[in-house]
Structure 1
Amino acid sequence: MILARQREKWLVLLLMTALMAMLLPVPKAEAAYQLVWSDEFNGPSINTNYWTFEIGTGSNGWGNNELQYYTSRPENARIENGNLVIEARRESYGGMNYTSARLKTQGKVNFKYGRIEARIKLPKGQGLWPAFWTLGEDIATVGWPRSGEIDIMEHVNNEDVTHGYMHWDAGGHASYGGSSFAFDVTQYHVYSIEWTPSYIKWFVDGVQFWEANIQNNINSTEEFHKPHFLLLNMAVGGNWPGSPDASTPFPAKMYVDYVRVYQDVGGSNPSDDIVSGGTYKLINVNSGKALDVAGAGTTPGTNVQIWTDNGTGAQRWTIYRNADGTYKLINTNSALALDVAGAGTADGTNVQVATDTGHAAQKWNIIKNPDGTYKLINPNSGKALDVASAGTADGTNVQIWTDNGTGAQKWQLIRLY
């Protein structure tokens, strides 16, 4: 979806295809997948804790000479009867003749490996190009195609097939993938990939139609061993589908029933079971009390303390994985970030909530202890989230302190939703 999908028979692509076919990994036992994140689109509006809108034309049609202007208007994206509806319209807007929507989880939710799926009903029509896909979370720093891209589902025009592709950098843009079997795309189907350290497989309704080998970074595929975020969009026009014509039905609607991500419960990282975009309460092991914003405050600089677990928004924290592998914790009541005051590094520096800026004072490494609890280490200071003097009383201050493995620095992370 970043560059035009012109499917030339490049010699280098043929060589890569041959190599991938020759070096596919030996099948192994099925992963013990469990659901780690989903959006069922059952709320009254699009969940902005998960999704951000791309706005505009991308200056050059998002690299594909597309013809739409992406908006965040409900006319183009909304929740309707338990579905996310992305609607392309023929109308003059922002200097373009069509509008649509493009949603992404960048900076909010990202994943490395797992089964990623969505149940979608697609429109048909000349010039329509709906897609469900991923990009590397580091795209802002490394650019495309070095970010990597996995197209879980793309559909163009009036075809009876969808397409699954991957794009990456191998001394220049490289791509690999192909078309599904024929089926009725205008009905609901589940589009998915299974993504492991060894391979990416593409499916429609659980039936595999393509596979790529990424084991040991073969063919420079290191882009597929790092976190990716999700995208849903419907482009109009562009180099692959061509322009709409008089036969194209507008408005054209793409219905997304759900998006779900499953991962292997074994996990390879100490914090693999932390769901980016999940909301948690943090219970201090020593005191049995919850990480809490004093007075349910919403002003930057409000103190963070421990308090009896009461289920309020002041004690709920949405955890997002940053592109560098650290995490930020956003309080659901205030939308402010867990922050080390003044970016301090000394033992006893106060912990507060502050406006989310992405500063190192708001980044935390979440590390699983052998007993199943977690410690949160601020990488700016190298120090742990700590309850002052190992206190157990309501209102005891939370600070940073040298990592010492005591109960005052151990937290249970209990996922709420």
Structure 2
Amino acid sequence: MKPYSILLSVALLTAVHANAQHRAKADTVFFEDFNEQNIDRSKWNVEVTGNTVNDEQQAYVDSAATIYMVKGKAAEGAKNGALVLKALYKPGFTSKEQKKYDFISGRINTRAKMEFTYGTASARMKMAAGAGLWPAFWALGNGNWPDCGEIDIMETIGDSSWVSHALHGPNYFGDTPLVYRAHFTAGIDVSQWHIYSVDWSPASLIFKVDGKVTYTVTKPMVEKYGRWAFDNKKFIILNFALGGGYPGGYNKIKQPYFGLSENTVNKIKAGNAKVLVDWVLVTKNEKQQ
């Protein structure tokens, strides 16, 4: 073996060993593989809402039509199965608050069942594109919003070429200055499987797509606008919203629904507005204590 080959082999072995040590130091706080018949309610709360927020067009319901598991071919490449959040056209749906909606969808969270402070939260997801489709993977603190702090790990509002990351807290909420659009390269979009994650430490939040750093926010950056709201426990949320302020502000669509195009409504009617989640993982290592 030539000397440079020996050096290369040593370097590779060193890198592999270091990576193995890193994995060994990372403790799993939470893991959900979505490989059961039904949603595991010891881990997840299914939200039911009948009051509109953000001018969204859907009501969240507890239904196997909007929140369910798939396996095999229906899992679209998720080896052990996947969670599906599906939006449905249900004109005239009336919530218990007597509010009327034309759409229903799904939203789940881990509030009081799994809450964590610092660590890495990640999810492998794929989703339909369409103007006004607004799925999200995020973390939220308990208490009054926005003081409790919100970490938007992944949001997409229908433009399949990018996802956004954002932080909300006191004096930096709504149209927050702490937001970033992470654009995919040509030929890649949200309809393909991707891993969305955030590394959360006492000093920063580092957002990644498929392991590549896309946006970094430090504590001093946040404190230019308001109090750092990221030293308290957060719980995970997965939801599939339709229309509303964020999509509508971007696509300027007002008809047939605020933020939802006619093409998107037709996609929902055809049963093609879905979000698939392969897994959700929360880990913590020594540096994130």
Alignment TM class, shorter chain as reference: 0.7 to 0.9
State whether structure 2 residue 84 is matched by structure 1 residue 68: no
Q: Secondary structure at the match of 1:240?
A: helix
Shift of the 224–175 alpha-carbon distance from structure 1 to 2, 3 Å rule, reads: farther
Answer whether contact 2:137 2:238 (CA < 8 A) is retained. Answer: yes
Tell me the distance in 1 between the aligned counterparts of 2:113 and 2:152.
20
180, 184, 190: which is aligned to 2:195? 190
Higher relative contact order (CA 8 A, sep 6+): 2
Tell me the distance in 2 between the aligned counterparts of 1:168 and 1:161.
23
Tell me the distance in 1 between the aligned counterparts of 2:173 and 2:239.
26
The answer for the alignment partner of 1:147 in structure 2 is 148
State whether structure 2 residue 117 is matched by structure 1 residue 112: yes
Shift of the 181–89 alpha-carbon distance from structure 1 to 2, 3 Å rule, reads: same
Describe how 1:245-260 pairs up with structure 2 within 5 A: 245-248=261-264, 249-250=267-268, 251=271, 252-260=273-281
Shift of the 186–214 alpha-carbon distance from structure 1 to 2, 3 Å rule, reads: same
Tell me the distance in 2 between the aligned counterparts of 1:209 and 1:267.
19
The answer for the alignment partner of 2:89 in structure 1 is 90
Shift of the 217–154 alpha-carbon distance from structure 1 to 2, 3 Å rule, reads: closer
Answer whether contact 1:127 1:156 (CA < 8 A) is retained. Answer: yes
Equivalent position amino acid for 1:180 in 2 = A
Tell me the distance in 2 between the aligned counterparts of 1:34 and 1:263.
5
The answer for the alignment partner of 1:411 in structure 2 is none
The normalised TM-score by structure 2 is 0.75
Tell me the distance in 2 between the aligned counterparts of 1:267 and 1:178.
23
Q: Secondary structure at the match of 1:66?
A: coil
Answer whether contact 1:168 1:175 (CA < 8 A) is retained. Answer: no
The normalised TM-score by structure 1 is 0.53
CA deviation profile, 1:121-143 (whole Å, cap 9, x unmatched): 0110121100000111x22xxx1
Describe how 1:11-410 pairs up with structure 2 within 5 A: 32-57=25-50, 59=51, 61-62=52-53, 64-81=54-71, 82-92=81-91, 93-94=93-94, 95-136=100-141, 138-139=142-143, 143-170=144-171, 175-182=177-184, 183-214=188-219, 218-219=223-224, 220-242=226-248, 243-248=259-264, 249-250=267-268, 251=271, 252-265=273-286, 268=289
CA deviation profile, 1:190-243 (whole Å, cap 9, x unmatched): 000011111101110001110100269834443101110010001011012133
Shift of the 267–56 alpha-carbon distance from structure 1 to 2, 3 Å rule, reads: closer
Structure 1: any 5+ residue segments left out of the alignment?
A: 1-29, 269-417
Answer whether contact 1:134 1:150 (CA < 8 A) is retained. Answer: yes
Tell me the distance in 2 between the aligned counterparts of 1:171 and 1:124.
28
Q: Secondary structure at the match of 2:262?
A: coil
Task: Report the number of matched residues.
Answer: 232
Shift of the 226–217 alpha-carbon distance from structure 1 to 2, 3 Å rule, reads: farther
Q: Secondary structure at the match of 1:224?
A: coil
RMSD: 2.1
Answer whether contact 1:197 1:215 (CA < 8 A) is retained. Answer: no
CA deviation profile, 1:93-148 (whole Å, cap 9, x unmatched): 22200110111111111111111000000110121100000111x22xxx110010
Q: CA deviation at 1:184?
A: 1.3
Equivalent position amino acid for 1:155 in 2 = T
Identity, % of aligned positions: 31
Tell me the distance in 1 between the aligned counterparts of 2:110 and 2:28.
17
Tell me the distance in 2 between the aligned counterparts of 1:266 and 1:96.
46
